[in-house]
Structure 1
Amino acid sequence: MRLFNDYFADPPVFQMKCDLFLKIVAAVEEKGHAYDVPADSLDEFFRLGESTIIESMRRFVRAVVEAFGDEYLRSPSEDTTRLLAINVRRGFPRMLGSVDCMHWRWKNCPTAWAGSFIGHVNTPTIILKAVALHDLWILHAFFGMPGSLNDINVLHRSHLLDDLAAGEAPKVNYTINGHHYTMGYYLADGIHPEWATFVKPIPTPIGRKRQHFIVQQAAARKDVERAFGVLQSRFPIVRGPRGYGMRKLFPLS
């Protein structure tokens, strides 16, 4: 009854569509289930031990990846045409998405590792680098780098541009200011390198045209920041993993 009231009461505790909930249940019913909150907040509610809930959550995550990974954890090769059409209407033709990093606070980071995981936020963090669209679809995710690294360090270690470097990226043909390009691009902040695949803000915009571009670029780049915000609000565990070791934090990396 507690599970029913959480998901199907009016109003439900968790704002999830019934058909989506049943789809997930059908896909992982034999592989475990868990909630997206700290385990020790549920042990009394469900009369289950914290270790049991943590193990259920680990099995649930693996089951979700097995059931839905091929559909959602993939490169956007076959979706390129749709992505480009959407972003043309938003004023950024040939744009593939917005890229940025999020620092994930590691509450119980081992003391021996704290030095390498402490960055500008003065607490141990783990970095998630992602590319997101306006509809919250995260089409690239790279997780696990220590918080002491900056965006460029993480970029060099991620797989974001592997297809491009190997010449296997989807071909996108267009011309801007007389220059022909055969690749899409990502909206990025100023720390990213001066590469053709990144469109960054203009450091000192002079004139109404450049000032207008700055405003539009910043607005569109909010896609990935909004995705991070929704991710943290829907999955509170992202705001601070509790007591998990390295192997449990990164079993799928």
Structure 2
Amino acid sequence: MFNNIRMFIRMIHEEVEDDEEDEAIATTLVEQYPQHMDHNSFSHHGGSVLNHRIINRSRAEGHERLYRDYFADSPTYPSQLFYRRFHKHRSLFLRIQGAIKTHDQYFVQRFDAVGVPRLSSLQKMTVALRMLAYGSPVDAVDEYVRIDESTTIESLKRFTKIVVEVFGEQYLR
């Protein structure tokens, strides 16, 4: 990759020698390239933002833990703790989950290009409800649910919008 960029910059430099302004720009690029693109300062992690680190949050593990703790046939935590932590009964939670999945495909679990499951509707809904119920900061839900800050904010925005659209006329005054 680095060699391709170097060759591209050299090619530009050679083609613009006729115009002094273009040559000055190309020269600056060639001079600045080693400072900004050396192997030590360039992140080798994926993502679309330069030097943005990708954290493997084990999303599937987060879903499995959440499911085992609250939604399995024999959950780790009893229904009283579910109610205390979510401020609603499990049946109401699941009814809301079904309605939002039907209303917005964002809450339907998808898979990436290699078949790895992305975030589930349980995870997205849980972060939204925990933030609403407890006023939790965005990054507080990451450790348990395994969801990053931007997705948490997006989930909260979409969840509140959908709840108003789907249940507003019937339940909201």
- Structure-2-length-normalised TM-score: 0.37
Larger Rg: 2
- Structure-1-length-normalised TM-score: 0.26
Structure with greater strand percent: 1
